[in-house]
């Protein structure tokens, strides 16, 4: 089997939302596919009304195919401090024309304020490795892991775009979705992530390559590109008026500043070009005078995060069959 589903950016490409259908009759929700976590959780009939602000809620009691996973609970906290928790049902899940009949659907009986405020987002589908799934006493496998053996190829691809809909595809590589060739690089999944190491980077079209291994995760659920502070400092040295502003929580610069492109090396002789315009995330003031950088530090995380600012510049193959990541220009 193969599947393909559209994924649509929210304002400033802060996140990408993807339609999913759960249960019988189908209940349609919009979720955030997150390759940086491994739980599929949704707003539900169990989420207190005070914590719901317009989200669509999955109601297992209205699904003839829902089965409670007795005794199972889950709780999760993300890198940005947001969190959610609840219990678990098994039900039919369809996305992009592929479906799995007994997918663990983690229903939220509590969500943090960040999720309540994210009014178009009805939940998260984690597509990292099941080893870091948070259901207890028995951790659950991800939607992709459940599909894997029935897919034509044991992989999925992410084609996120700047300010336009893109696609997640399952089981095949769309040759029309990228240019040139795909460069593959090994993935180390021991921490449960799509973790890989870039050999280095280049700042600007005429910059010199800097050999500096950067170990990080390919994370569609993180908005920005989070790299070592030495790299980030070197980049913003090239942006006039840029400074680290603790009041804004990161590097900020005048929105009319000229931003150099940033090249992330992959394998022995390839690199992904992030255009300068992707390196500005959003205005920090209502006048739109100063902008928050799309590149920020990975301080305190323990590894770098290749989030949407990077991923939307590439065609990305998440190849579980060969434990590798493929990257191509587009």
Ligand X SMILES: Cc1cc(CN)n(C)n1
Residues that bind ligand X (CB under 6 A): 34, 36-37, 78-80, 82, 124, 219, 221-222
Q: How far is the CB of 115 from ligand X (least distance, A)?
A: 7
Q: How far is the CB of 225 from ligand X (least distance, A)?
A: 13
Closer by beta carbon to ligand X, 143 or else 263: 143
Closer by beta carbon to ligand X, 80 or else 256: 80
Residue 135: Cβ-neighbour burial (10 angstroms; 0-12, 13-18, 19+): buried
Please pick, among 63, 198, 265, 280, the residue that the annotation labels catalytic: 198
- Picking from 218, 69, 190, 203, the residue whose alpha carbon sits closest to that of residue 131 is 190
- Known catalytic membership, residue 198: yes
Ranked by CB distance to ligand X, the top (closest) residue is 36
- Report the SS3 class of residue 286: coil
Instruction: Please say whether the beta carbons of 262 and 279 come within 8 A.
Output: yes
Please pick, among 13, 34, 39, 87, the residue that the annotation labels catalytic: 34
> Alpha carbon 85 to chain centroid distance?
20
Closer by beta carbon to ligand X, 39 or else 242: 39
Q: How far is the CB of 293 from ligand X (least distance, A)?
A: 17
Closer by beta carbon to ligand X, 221 or else 293: 221
Closer by beta carbon to ligand X, 265 or else 298: 298
The H-or-E segment that residue 310 falls in is helix 308-311
Q: How far is the CB of 221 from ligand X (least distance, A)?
A: 3
Tokens 């089997």 correspond to what residue?
Answer: 1
Dihedral angle of Cα 20, 122, 73, 24, to the nearest 10 degrees: -40
- Known catalytic membership, residue 240: no
Q: Report the alpha-carbon distance of residue 12 to residue 20 in Å, rounded.
A: 23
Q: How far is the CB of 34 from ligand X (least distance, A)?
A: 5
Q: Which residues are marked as active site?
A: 34, 198
């Amino acid at each position: 089997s193969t599947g393909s589903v559209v994924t649509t950016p929210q304002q400033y490409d802060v996140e990408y939302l993807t339609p999913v259908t759960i249960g019988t009759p189908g209940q349609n929700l919009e979720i955030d596919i997150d390759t940086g976590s491994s739980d599929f959780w949704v707003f539900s009939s169990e989420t207190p009304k005070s914590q719901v602000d317009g989200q669509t809620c999955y109601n297992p009691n209205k699904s003839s195919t829902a089965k409670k996973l007795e005794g199972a609970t889950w709780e999760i906290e993300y890198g940005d401090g947001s969190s959610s928790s609840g219990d678990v049902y098994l039900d039919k899940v369809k996305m992009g024309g592929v479906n799995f009949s007994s997918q663990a659907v983690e229903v939220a009986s509590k969500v943090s304020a960040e999720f309540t405020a994210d009014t178009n987002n009805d939940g998260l589908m984690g597509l990292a490795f099941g080893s870091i799934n948070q259901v207890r006493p028995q951790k659950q496998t991800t939607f992709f892991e459940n599909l894997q053996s029935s897919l034509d190829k044991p992989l999925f691809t992410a084609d996120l775009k700047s300010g336009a809909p893109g696609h997640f595809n399952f089981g095949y590589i769309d040759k029309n979705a990228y240019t040139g060739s795909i460069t593959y690089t090994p993935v180390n999944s021991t921490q449960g992530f799509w973790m890989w190491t870039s050999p280095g980077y280049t700042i600007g079209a005429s910059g010199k390559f800097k050999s500096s291994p950067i170990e990080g995760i390919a994370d569609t659920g993180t908005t920005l590109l989070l790299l070592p502070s030495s790299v980030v400092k070197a980049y913003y040295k090239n942006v006039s008026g840029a400074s680290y502003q603790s009041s804004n929580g990161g590097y900020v610069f005048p929105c009319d500043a000229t931003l150099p492109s940033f090249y992330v090396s992959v394998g022995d002789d390839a690199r992904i070009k992030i255009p300068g315009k992707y390196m500005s995330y959003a205005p920090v003031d209502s006048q739109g005078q100063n902008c928050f950088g799309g590149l920020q530090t990975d301080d305190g995380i323990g590894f770098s995060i290749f989030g949407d600012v990077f991923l939307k510049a590439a065609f990305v193959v998440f190849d579980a069959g060969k434990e590798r990541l493929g990257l191509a220009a587009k």
